[in-house]
Amino acid sequence: MDFASYAIDLVAVLLLALGMKGLAKVRTARSANGLAALAMGLAVVGLLLQLQPGPTAWLWIAAGTAAGGIAGLITAQRVPMTAMPETVALFNGCGGMASLLVALGVALFQNEQADLVARISIVISVFVGAITFSGSIVAMAKLQGWLDTPDWTQSSLRHGLNISLAVACLAAGLALPADPAGWPLWGLVLASTLLGIGVTLPIGGADMPVVISLLNSYSGVAAAAAGFVVGSQLLIVAGAMVGAAGLILTQVMCTAMNRSLVSVLFGGALGAKAGGSVGGGGDEAGYTRIVSCSPEECAMALESAERVVFVPGYGLAVAQAQHALRELAKLLEANGAEVTYAIHPVAGRMPGHMNVLLAEADVPYEQLVEMDTINPEFPRTDVVIVLGANDVVNPDAKTDPSSPLYGMPVLEVDQARQVFVVKRSLGAGYAGIANALFELPQTAMVFGDAKAVLQQLCTELRSQGVGTKTPVAA
């Protein structure tokens, strides 16, 4: 390795580290992302200069680059913001697959050159790469709603199954260094892939973001192992960095959701413990004191309200109602009301997801208020409108120690004078748990699709002359 390559690698590592650091701050995040991308490009150019690939090699490099690059470009542009967690899972799975394939290639065709260290690294790379891949794909499929949580995965049977798979991985992994291209390799690929599925499948949808973050950390580990396999220090350092940072991020997310990593990984789906239906929704969860009201009544309450807080949840995003919500908020502001949005740390499908979705609808950043800031404000709030959020406004989390949500920080909307919950039906929330908020005397349910209801509210308010007296301010 000559001096120039060393210098390029060092600069690339430095820029990657700076990029990662900058990504954790609002002001610098975007340029930091660019910086990390630049560092990656630099590392690739540096490596190509050093490797001097032949003409056939260039052909395959071009083919791989074109296929992966175009697919990545199209996916990144087309995917809706609501599907962001799934998308990250998909990308992550492919990263794991890449590490797996590199290790396979070396194990099958270059094993004479591979010393013991490289062979051990192959084991790690195959194992972690395969788990990352299959786990990420399962996570994606569950978030997309393509996969349910099968009942058998909630029994303790799954621990036995996963332990046997882990033992199989260990056996194959121990046998592999002596026989790198034989049965242990394929056994390891198979057992690790199944283990990734077996571990991810029982986890409930609400916990999926944590799993994705953890798998993201794994793909860093897989990359570092691939670095040992091909002998690239840059790969080792970058992989280790992502692996460690991913672990911290996973921990931060767990804290935000008031869950421990162990209970996420081994506890099964949240609703299962409550005896509710898992992932099914649908059932009416035994509510007895539900008051429902029409959009007209809701509009009347809004017209006289001075302080309105919206609580947006994933249901809002699914209904693509962010823009209708922004429209309604503008009308209310023109009517002299103070409008804010209460953002729970895990609103949407993962921390920060809702901020992205509302930013897309041009909601001013200053109106998004985080939980700790808004909770003391609820007692002096006239009207709260809950849109497609459920578990994050469940008062049981504070008062009922038997609730599976107990201890989770929630938005204290039950303190407000009047609460309207816009919901399609009385189905249980994502975690499959009944919501005590719905039965409170100050709560009224407005049944319907979030977007349709919001549009009706706008029409109703306009017909009462709201927003026409003063021109709508931007």
Partner 1 sequence: MSSLSQALWVLLLGSLLGLELIGKVPPTLHTPLMSGANAISGITVLASLTLIAQADGNGALLMLGGLSLGFALFNVIGGFLVTDRMLAMFGGRKTKGAS
State the Cα–Cα distance between residues 121 and 119, nearest whole angstrom.
Answer: 5
* Pairing, β 307-312 against β 383-387: parallel
**Short-list 121, 80, 129, CA closest to 101:** 129
Tokens of 169: 């991985």
Q: Which of 391, 400, 414, 449 is catalytic?
A: 391
CB of 200 to partner 1, least distance (A): 16
Known active-site residue 283: no
DSSP 145-207: TSS---GGGGSTHHHHHHHHHHHHHHHHHHHGGGSTTSHHHHHHHHHHHHHHHHHHTTS-GGG
Considering only CA atoms, which of 173, 150, 121, 382 is closest in space to residue 269? 150
CB of 419 to partner 1, least distance (A): 24
Measured from the CB atom, is 357 or 466 closer to partner 1? 357
Closer CB to partner 1, 37 or 167, in the complex: 37
- Least distance in angstroms from the C-beta of 108 to partner 1: 7
Measured CA to CA in angstroms, residue 191 lies from 127, 186, 348 at distances of 9, 8, 34
124-141 per-residue burial string, b: 16 or more CB within 10 A, e: under 16: bbbbbbbbbbbbbbbbbb
4 versus 163: smaller Cβ distance to partner 1: 4
| Closest to 119 in 3D by CA, of 67, 178, 194 | 178
> Closest separation between CB of residue 141 and partner 1, Å?
18
Q: Smaller CB distance to partner 1: residue 199 or 212?
A: 212
Q: Closest approach of Cβ 412 to partner 1, in Å?
A: 18
State which residue, 345 or 395, has the beta carbon closest to partner 1. 345
Measured CA to CA, the distance from residue 96 to residue 127 in angstroms comes to 10
Instruction: Decide if 404 contacts 274 (C-beta within 8 A).
Output: yes
Using alpha carbons, select from 366, 360, 357 the residue that is nearest to residue 333. 366
**CB 194, CB 134: distance < 8 Å:** yes
Of 223 and 261, which has the nearer Cβ to partner 1?
A: 223
| Smallest separation, CB 434 to partner 1 (Å) | 26
Please tell me the distance from the alpha carbon of residue 302 to that of residue 317, in angstroms, as a whole number: 22
Q: What are the residues facing 311 on neighbouring strands? A: 386
Q: Is-contact 423 287, C-beta < 8 A?
A: no
Q: CB of 222: closest distance to partner 1 in angstroms?
A: 7
Nearest 5°: the CA angle 229, 233, 235 is: 70
By C-beta, is 52 or 156 nearer to partner 1?
A: 52
Query: Rounded to the nearest whole angstrom, what is the least distance from the CB of residue 252 to partner 1 in the complex?
Result: 6
Show Cβ contacts of residue 373 under 8 Å, excluding neighbours closer than 6 positions: none
Q: Which of 45, 39, 46 is nearest to 21 (CA)?
A: 39
State which residue, 63 or 174, has the beta carbon closest to partner 1. 63
Which residues belong to the active site?
391
